[in-house]
Amino acid sequence: MWRTSTRTGNGDQWGPCRSLDRTGKTPFETMICHCWAENSLFAVLSLGIEAGVWAHLSSDEQPRTVVAIADATGMEEAMLARLLKHVAAMGAGNTGGLGRCVLALPSYLRKTNYTSPTSMTDGNLQYDHDIKFNCSSGYTPMSAAWPSTSTWAAYSHGRPKWTDAGFYPVQERLLDDFDASCPDAAFLVDIGGNLGHNLQSFLDRFPTAPGRLVLQDLEHVISAIPPDSESSLSPRIERTVYDFHTPQPVKGARAYYMHSILHNWPDEVCCAILRNVKAAMCPGYSRLLINENVIPNTGAQWEATALDVLMLALLSSKKRTRVKCVRLLEEKAGLKVNEIDTFANGVESLIELVVPE
Interatomic CA distance for residues 47 and 83, integer angstroms: 9
* 85, 270, 136, 151: CA torsion to nearest 10: 60
259 is annotated as an active-site residue:
no
Interatomic CA distance for residues 255 and 199, integer angstroms: 12
Rg (CA), the chain: 22
Q: Which of 88, 91, 108, 116 is nearest to 43 (CA)?
A: 108
Under 8 Å between Cβ of 41 and 99: no
First to last CA, the chain: 74
Query: Kindly report the CA angle at 155 between 150 and 157, in degrees rounded to 5?
Result: 95
Q: What is the 3-state secondary structure (H, E, C) of 10-72?
A: CHHHHHHHHHHHHHHCCHHHHHHHHHHHHHHHHHHHHHHHHHCHHHHHCCCCCCCCHHHHHHH
Q: CA-based diameter of the chain, in Å? A: 86
Q: Which of 53, 32, 102, 116 is nearest to 304 (CA)?
A: 32
Which residue blocks in the chain are alpha helix, DSSP H?
11-24, 27-32, 38-51, 53-57, 66-73, 77-90, 100-103, 105-111, 124-129, 149-156, 170, 197-205, 219-222, 267-280, 302-315, 322-326
Catalytic residue among 197, 220, 259, 263: 263
CB crowding 141-169: b at 16 or more within 10 Å, else e: eeeeeeeebeeeeeebeeebbbbeeebbe
Catalytic positions: 263
